[in-house]
Chain A
Amino acid sequence: MRQVIGGSLFIITGALAGAGSAMTLTEYLGTEPALAGSPWASRDTSPLSPAHPYVVAHFLNEGRLPPAAGLWREYAADQSDDGSTLSIACTYTLTAKLPTHRWWSIAAESSGRGERPSNSVITSDTVVAEPNGMVTLTISREAVAGNWLKPPPTGTFGLIYTIAGPESEQAPAPAAMFTIKRRDC
């Protein structure tokens, strides 16, 4: 009897270890920061990457389809440049000098698992940019003049920045990544 109970504990421990390691690796493996010190990170969706099964599992578990490597690259951030979690209680200013010849979009989505994206999106088709390609966006609960990105209605949120083009497999130039400055809270 003692042997059966002891054996069951081994099996349960093994199952928990297998599930825990799978969930951890699915969350973190294949993720690389866009730039050193930047809050933006992207997942390597290349089929040649050793992390490929984990990256695909990450997107499918979220009810999404993985972005096609080579077609576009997706970056996600859930913190501002100062390391604080993005919250609807604050106002943020995002700035970048973006290429005019490539389609891009930036979306704000709820952080909670299973939450539907808010679908507040600004794209290269709708943004108002400076003549030199400089783009400034504001994220705030209240509407503001200019490029306004509305955050989800409650809690913390994440940003998804997608950039298309033949160079999408490489990380964009530093100037092409948005800085995320926290202003008022």
Chain B
Amino acid sequence: MHRVFWVLAAILTALLTHTVFVLVIPKLSLERTMARLSATAGMNTFFIVPREERAALLPSFPANSVVGACAFDVEAGPVAVDANMPDGFWVLTVYSAKGDVLYALDSNQAGTSSFTVTLSKAPGLIEQLRLKPTEEEISATGWSVQTPVTEGLAVFGQPITDADKSRSVAAQMMKSKCRRS
């Protein structure tokens, strides 16, 4: 009887440890990265990622590439990301704090270099049943993302090889904003 108890306890421990290693530790790792990156700029503020961090985030991009980011928190209300991207190939990816991709777009798909993506908290099940969106609200939801996880990271990247061009691209990208809407 004791043996059965300890076998069950071992199985439970194995399941718990497995879950922690797959779901909790990687999430903590991302949270640490987000906190480190946004330490100076703060939440809901656009910033250019320092050069030494870029290679780790986007290793397939050349060293002179420009990477901008915004660590967002939609708990207190929606956050708008006003992108102002330079000409050329670029990508925008919005990640939840769990590392899931919420939204992704590149220059070919966007068809424009200036646009706004609105991030908001996804309604819970009870809110979904209680609220019935009007037709106007539905039509206004283009370029908007609802996230079940309130915190996350929006990452803008443009691969650049030339150092001089890198400065002008960074200056253009710095016109992007992250703000409460």
Contacts and interface: CB of A to CB of B under 8 A. Distances in A.
A53 interface: yes
Nearest to A122: B62
A71 B106 CA distance: 7
Q: Chain A interface residue count: which class?
A: 35 or more
A61 interface: yes
Contacts of B63: 119, 121
A164 B58 CA distance: 13
A64 B26 CA distance: 10
A103 B60 CA distance: 11
A22 B22 contact: yes
B171 interface: no
A23 B21 contact: yes
A168 B61 CA distance: 17
A54 B23 CA distance: 8
A28 to B, nearest CB: 13
A11 B59 contact: no
Contacts of B61: 105, 121
A125 B21 contact: no
B22 A3 contact: no
B151 to A, nearest CB: 15
Interface of A: 3, 6-7, 10-11, 13-15, 17-19, 21-23, 25-26, 45, 47, 53-54, 56-57, 59-61, 63-66, 68-72, 74, 103, 105-107, 109, 116-117, 119, 121, 123, 125-126, 160-162, 164-166
Given A69-B101, A121-B60, 10 more contacts: A11-B13, A14-B10, A14-B12, A15-B13, A18-B15, A26-B22, A103-B159, A105-B62, A126-B161, A164-B108
Interface of B: 2, 6-7, 9-23, 25-27, 29-30, 33, 55-63, 89, 91, 93, 95, 98-101, 104-106, 108-109, 153, 155, 159, 161
Smallest CB-CB A-B distances: 4 pairs: A18-B17, A14-B10, A68-B104, A22-B21
